[in-house]
Amino acid sequence: MAGLTPPRWAVPEVVSGDWACRRELADAVRLLSERCITSEADGDALAEAAGLVRTAAALLRGSQKTSGEAWSDQSYHEDIRRYVDRGALVGRCNPIAPPLDIQHSGGESRCTVTLDERFVGAPGLSHGGVVASIYDQMCGHAVVWSGHRALTLRLIIEYRRPTPLHLPVMFSSRVARVDGRSLWLEGECSFRGKTITTCHAEFREIDKDTAMAIFAPAASPQSKP
């Protein structure tokens, strides 16, 4: 039954070596990113911080590889978990990710997340586009756990109440129906026991050859300043 055994892309909770160091770096950059937004430090302190960041960035100059390039040269498939852990929303190695810690059981994907000031829209509230992105990730997670390979075709969000920052909210998603190549999903987000947004999505199943044709062209030379 789907959901009982983690798929091969499921990221381990504990990692070591360079992988662990990458996570530690991402955590540090998350903290820096939020401080960049909220700090009331004076110009001298901000300028000094900018210089330190540039120095840190220089340490990482050199050989680089995008996910598209890794897909094309097949290194992506050697350990897909490393690249999933660099994703925009779930990647603990990606400093722009909250990150989401999505769990799956009983046919449903769930996560509780506290969005910080990096995701602000209106004052004190999460940006509606960020909420939509989280739903897309949640639905994609439910799709893959159900044993399908599919991409988002449409995503409809109903914003009933604002989504707060700095407080935990819970997202869930599930595959409600499969009709040929189309998968229909439902999701919701709750805050303090009340539903604040809902989601309806359609995903379209693709085969391996189609996936290769879509993903491989994404590989492009990356500028290396």
pLDDT for residue 169: 98
- What the chain holds in terms of domains, given with CATH numbers, is 17-218 (3.10.129.10)
pLDDT at res. 73: 87
Question: Does residue 154 surpass a pLDDT of 90?
Answer: yes
pLDDT at 225: 45
- Pairing outcome for strands 168-179 and 150-159: unpaired
pLDDT of residue 18: 96
Query: Residue 213 above 70 pLDDT?
Result: yes
pLDDT class of 219 with cuts at 50, 70, 90: very low
**Residue 218 pLDDT > 80:** no
Structure confidence at residue 60 (pLDDT):
94
Q: Encode pLDDT of 96-125 as tens digits.
A: 999 999 999 999 999 999 999 999 999 999
Under the banding of pLDDT at 50, 70 and 90, the label for residue 158 is very high
Mean pLDDT for all residues in the chain: 92
Average pLDDT over residues 118-135: 98
pTM summary value: 0.91
Alpha helices in 60-156 (DSSP H): 67-72, 75-78, 80-84, 128-145
Q: How confident is the model at residue 163 (pLDDT cuts 50, 70, 90)?
A: very high
Report whether 150 contacts 206 (CB < 8 A).
yes
Position 10 scores a pLDDT of: 86
Q: Which amino acid belongs to residue 46? A: L
Confidence tier at 217 by pLDDT (50, 70, 90) = low
pLDDT in tens, 172-205: 999 999 999 999 999 999 999 999 999 999 999 9
* pLDDT tens-digit series, residues 28-78: 999 999 999 999 999 999 999 999 999 999 999 988 888 888 888 889 988
Give the side-chain half-sphere CA count within 13 A for 143: 25
- Per-residue b or e along 71-89, where b marks 16 or more CB atoms closer than 10 Å to that residue's CB: bbeeebeeebbbbbbbbeb
Residue 143 vs residues 1, 130, 135, 147, 191: alpha-carbon distances, Å: 14, 20, 12, 7, 24
pLDDT of amino acid 6:
61
What's the CA angle centered on 106, arms 105 and 110, to 5 degrees? 45
Percent of residues, the chain, with pLDDT higher than 70: 93
